[in-house]
């Protein structure tokens, strides 16, 4: 009897897991359970062109390969608990599922600040799903006054899109520059200048105390340490994410920041890998030999980078196939489309924010920036410079894989 695998989470990670289980030789049944009522779709356009045009889930959906034609999709149903010893999953409609193997791919949800009336959630919009994007798009009438709380990638991309549509957009953040926590203040200041040139206003170094609905159908955004109140027609909260781990509670798992896995993406309990449970995508945290620590990454390419290994580990845990025996060392990478050019990043810039060096170009223009820890290159950001991407990526890969620190001063030549 072939083992039955349940995949929980029908986003990109769930899709790639199903594909790679088949590619790894899993011949048993697969059921994917997804909390959203949609087949897996692409999220990055939701802050970009799809927010301009109005998102259409049919055009955002990922193609499904013939190899996963016989996968069962249960959509609009959330897992509410799991019994790992009994190998049973419970759903929010009261039904249960037995499994031999389990894939955890539930990603993250938007974080909410306690800035509503009485310290509850505020009457703001967030942007994680296609339905969130539809709700936001519907509110973006021409000339709408939009406040964006949070100057990370989601906040900056939404602000740029709203400004391009002719909206009056104001971004608030307690940090001194947009993206400062991810790419540092120097890159952040350059991004700020580009966004300002595109019509985005910033109030930085300020916190939001409260957002209240006004009698006229708008919103009043009260700042901390100031009597200032900003009025808006729409308020978007883009203040980070929370891993979707509640359904895994009570099982002795390591749920401190996502879910703890070993270096092969097998979920661990008490430090011991469970042979029949893997995790991947935004939710997975695992030790990465190149960075000498556990990492959890929320990038689009990551589910694809992780799926083959997760599937190989699970198939090995469920049958006679040998487990992978090489260290697993995927390279994190992301891009963001902002006015003035695409930003691309490789490695983990946040680990090297204490030592940021301009490798090529000008801070204000196209440039390559290196992020170092203990003198060693751990991350790169390219603003523009698309033609140099492969050179820089190769240099970083060489540096990380040899661990020599040779890249501390290196930009590729040529």
CB of 247 vs ligand FAD, minimal distance in Å: 4
Cα(158)–Cα(170) distance, rounded to whole angstroms? 11
Of 283, 275, 272, 298, residue with least CA distance to 246: 283
Judge whether 211 and 121 are in contact, CB under 8 Å. no
Exactly one of 5, 6, 11, 381 binds ligand FAD (CB under 6 A); that residue is 11
d(CA 93, CA 79): 9
Which residue lies nearer to ligand FAD by CB, 131 or 364?
131
Shortest Å, Cβ 42 to ligand FAD: 7
- The yes or no reply on residue 281 touching ligand FAD (CB under 6 A) is yes
Sign of the CA dihedral with 262 first, then 283, 331, and 32 last: positive
Q: Between 343 and 395, whose beta carbon lies closer to ligand FAD? A: 343
**Positions in 289-348 near ligand FAD (CB under 6 A):** 298-300, 302-303, 334-336
Judged by CB under 6 A, the residue of 7, 26, 32, 47 near ligand FAD is 47
Give the integer Cα–Cα distance in Å for 268 and 260. 6
Residues 145-164 that bind ligand FAD (CB under 6 A): 154
Pairwise CA distance, residues 396 & 411, whole Å: 9
Q: Binder to ligand FAD among 97, 128, 194, 309 (CB under 6 A)?
A: 128
Within 8 A by CB and 6+ apart from 82, the residues are 88, 89, 90, 102, 247, 248, 251
Strand, coil or helix: what is 84? coil
**Between residues 37 and 166, which has the closer beta carbon with respect to ligand FAD?**
37
Binding mask 15-34 for ligand FAD (x = CB under 6 A): ------------------xx
Q: Is 344 helix (H, G, I), strand (E, B) or coil?
A: strand
Q: Does 8 bind ligand FAD (CB under 6 A)?
A: yes
Contacts of 117 (CB under 8 A, 6+ apart): 210, 212
Structure tokens at 252: 């002795």
For residues 132 and 355, which CB has a smaller minimum distance to ligand FAD in the complex? 132
Binding region for ligand FAD (CB under 6 A) out of 12-20, 324-332, 365-373, 380-388: 12-20
Residue 374 φ/ψ region, left for φ over 0, alpha for ψ in the -120 to 50 degree band, beta for the rest: left
Interface with ligand FAD by CB under 6 A: which range of 23-31, 41-49, 255-263, 397-405?
A: 41-49
Binders of ligand FAD among residues 388 to 407 (CB under 6 A) are none
Planar angle of CA 295, 298, 303, nearest 5 degrees: 90
Nearer CB in complex with ligand FAD: 4/357 = 4
Does 12 help bind ligand FAD (rule: CB under 6 A)? yes
Of 16 and 376, which has the nearer Cβ to ligand FAD? 16
The span from the CA of 414 to the CA of 408, in Å, is: 18
CA gap 158, 341 in Å, rounded: 15
Q: Which is nearer to ligand FAD, 290 or 334 (CB)?
A: 334
Q: Please give the size of the binding site for ligand FAD, defined by CB under 6 A.
A: 36
Question: Site residues (CB under 6 A) for ligand FAD?
Answer: 8-14, 33-36, 43-44, 46-47, 78-79, 105-108, 127-128, 154, 244, 247, 281-282, 298-300, 302-303, 334-336
């Amino acid at each position: 009897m072939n083992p039955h695998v349940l995949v929980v989470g029908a986003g990109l990670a769930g899709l790639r897991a199903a594909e790679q289980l088949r590619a790894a030789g899993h011949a048993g049944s697969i059921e994917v359970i997804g909390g959203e009522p949609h087949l897996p779709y692409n999220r990055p356009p939701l802050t970009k062109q799809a927010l301009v045009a109005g998102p259409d889930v049919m055009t955002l959906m990922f193609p499904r390969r013939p190899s996963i034609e016989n996968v069962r999709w249960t959509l609009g149903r959330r897992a509410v608990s799991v019994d790992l010893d009994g190998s049973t999953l419970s759903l929010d409609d009261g039904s249960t599922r037995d499994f031999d193997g389990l894939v955890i791919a539930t990603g993250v949800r938007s974080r909410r600040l306690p800035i509503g009336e009485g310290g509850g959630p505020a009457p703001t919009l967030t942007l994680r799903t296609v339905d969130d994007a539809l709700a936001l798009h519907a509110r973006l009438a021409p000339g709408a006054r939009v406040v964006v709380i949070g100057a990370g990638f989601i906040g900056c991309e939404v602000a740029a899109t709203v400004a391009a549509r002719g909206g009056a957009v104001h971004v608030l953040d307690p940090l001194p520059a947009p993206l400062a926590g991810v790419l540092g203040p120097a890159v952040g200041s350059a991004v700020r200048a580009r966004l300002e040139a595109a019509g985005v206003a910033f109030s930085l170094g300020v916190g939001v105390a409260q957002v209240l609905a006004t009698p006229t159908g708008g919103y009043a955004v009260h700042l901390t340490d100031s009597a200032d109140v900003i009025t808006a027609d729409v308020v978007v909260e883009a203040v980070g994410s929370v891993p979707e781990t509640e359904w895994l509670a009570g099982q002795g798992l390591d749920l401190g920041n996502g879910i703890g896995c070993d270096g092969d993406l097998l979920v661990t309990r008490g430090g011991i890998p469970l042979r029949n449970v893997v995790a991947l995508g935004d939710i997975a945290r695992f030790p990465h030999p190149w960075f000498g620590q556990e990492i959890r990454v929320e990038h689009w390419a990551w589910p694809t980078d992780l799926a083959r290994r997760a599937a190989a580990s699970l198939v090995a845990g469920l049958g006679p196939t040998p487990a992978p025996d090489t260290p697993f060392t995927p390279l994190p990478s992301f891009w963001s489309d902002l006015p003035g050019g695409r930003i691309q990043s490789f490695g983990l810039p946040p680990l090297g924010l204490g030592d940021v060096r301009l490798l090529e170009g000008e801070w204000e223009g196209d440039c390559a920036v290196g992020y170092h820890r203990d003198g060693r290159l751990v991350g790169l950001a390219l603003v523009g410079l698309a033609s140099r991407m492969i050179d820089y990526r190769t240099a970083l890969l060489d540096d990380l894989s040899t661990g020599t620190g040779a890249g501390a001063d290196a930009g590729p030549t040529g």
